[in-house]
Structure 1
């Protein structure tokens, strides 16, 4: 699929733009590409991506080695990421032939071609609602994948029959490599993390049970039942970083309404200041807060500059070292 996207992208460029692009697969990043237009020739290291995440912009900056540039080639690049790449004068090509190259001697820019639709893998169980629940635990505890399937099922709280399907899905997408009959090794966990964030936002979180309450006292004064309730969102971010002063509140728990009223003195209210959301992970992963990955996802979904800054702090300090 990797070379297919590159070949399709270069062919589509050649049909519409007077430029010669020659690609060679090498061990350096994703390959090497020369771009010739008239008498000018430029050299690029290639990074190929099936799906493009926000972090790729910074990753490309890190591998620039003048006079050799770096170029992103992908099936599709979101508009905001293309804008960020152009701001940094970082070259890219999309599968549909949209292209951007800019330096002192060459400028090529096409952004009018329709989105290319390639056949995708279908039915990958690693990225279903249940698969995403398992993946969260794998992202937090990478060694979990080498336990027995029964142990994985018990720890993640999903049916045993789902585990081989999730593992097979991770193998199909290249995130898991088999070392021997009993062990796997992870590949590209950083990309898997951002793919999980996207799946959590669009597939899993919308299905979780949600309720609204009004808190009757300051959130810091509420004594949560250890393990079975944990702060998420902005309040959790404040506990993790001491950087964000929360304005919106999320609590993850599976306690029923009667217990929420009795234990925490919450008042059911449709427009209350607290959103209570179903907890779907192993309670052993909780402190006073949900796992940092959940807190990061909450902040990114809520948006806003301060939330995004705090999310980056949590990612850099508590998530990335484990990827």
Structure 2
């Protein structure tokens, strides 16, 4: 389920089934966000600025907090939100709605918290070599300097410090997901770059970052760092 409209439509359908709350989705109501949600509750209309995510993970929270501060009242609509993330959203007073109908909304005159439905499992994509540990490293260089996309593979491998064969896997993976626009027989440029950046952040957090920690160290003498 990739389409934002599909996510919000299913969320509203299940919200009506589970809580009897109806809603209207207005896409593009705000330029910086995905749209606006109008919920009908006790003969009142609650208007909520809306950001839609397929999944909501830890690295998304700072962005969501900034949006909530700027576009209050904000609700996040997602196919799946990890339980720990839902807890953090509730602590910060940020509203959310999942596609299974689970909802949290806390305002001065309105309070809704429904968490009875079994969560829809997060979508698991077919393995793409662009988001492996090595792929995330190569993609990092591409995102920093898009011109690297059009260098010979051997030169890219030398600059990124990875084996030559990995370059083709990453380029092919990006092409399969329509992140590369072919300019001519030899040259590419990025498209849908924001979505690609989000995928890289997830790949970095899950696969590359854990391998970068060298270890935890301490001084033999506790006050040695002062000298």
TM-score by length of 1: 0.55
What is the 5 A alignment of 1:1-323? Answer: 1-3=2-4, 4-26=6-28, 28=31, 29-64=33-68, 68-117=72-121, 120-138=124-142, 141-171=145-175, 176-178=179-181, 180-181=183-184, 182-185=187-190, 187-188=193-194, 191-200=198-207, 205=211, 232=214, 246-247=217-218
Structure 1: distance between partners of 2:56 and 2:83: 11
Structure 1: distance between partners of 2:142 and 2:71: 40
Q: 1:162 to 1:122 in 2, by over 3 A?
A: same
Structure 1: distance between partners of 2:104 and 2:190: 36
Alignment RMSD (CA, Å) = 3.3
Structure 2: distance between partners of 1:183 and 1:21: 42
Q: 1:35 to 1:66 in 2, by over 3 A?
A: farther
* Match in the other structure for 2:224: none
Structure 2: distance between partners of 1:159 and 1:67: 46
Check whether the contact 1:127–1:199 (CA below 8 A) recurs between aligned residues.
Answer: no
SS at match of 1:58: helix
SS at match of 1:76: strand
Report how far residue 172 of structure 1 moved: 5.0
Report how far residue 143 of structure 1 moved: 4.2
Check whether the contact 1:53–1:194 (CA below 8 A) recurs between aligned residues.
Answer: no
The structure with the larger Rg is: 1
Check whether the contact 2:133–2:204 (CA below 8 A) recurs between aligned residues.
Answer: no
Q: 1:164 to 1:24 in 2, by over 3 A?
A: farther
TM-score by length of 2: 0.75
Structure 2: distance between partners of 1:67 and 1:138: 32
Structure 1: distance between partners of 2:45 and 2:10: 22
Describe the superposition over 1:209-262 as per-residue Cα deviations: whole angstroms up to 9, x where unpaired. xxxxxxxxxxxxxxxxxxxxxx9456xxxxxxxxxxx539xxxxxxxxxxxxxx
Q: 1:64 to 1:172 in 2, by over 3 A?
A: farther
Check whether the contact 1:40–1:106 (CA below 8 A) recurs between aligned residues.
Answer: no
Q: 1:190 to 1:166 in 2, by over 3 A?
A: closer
SS at match of 1:14: helix
Question: Matched residue pairs, number?
Answer: 212
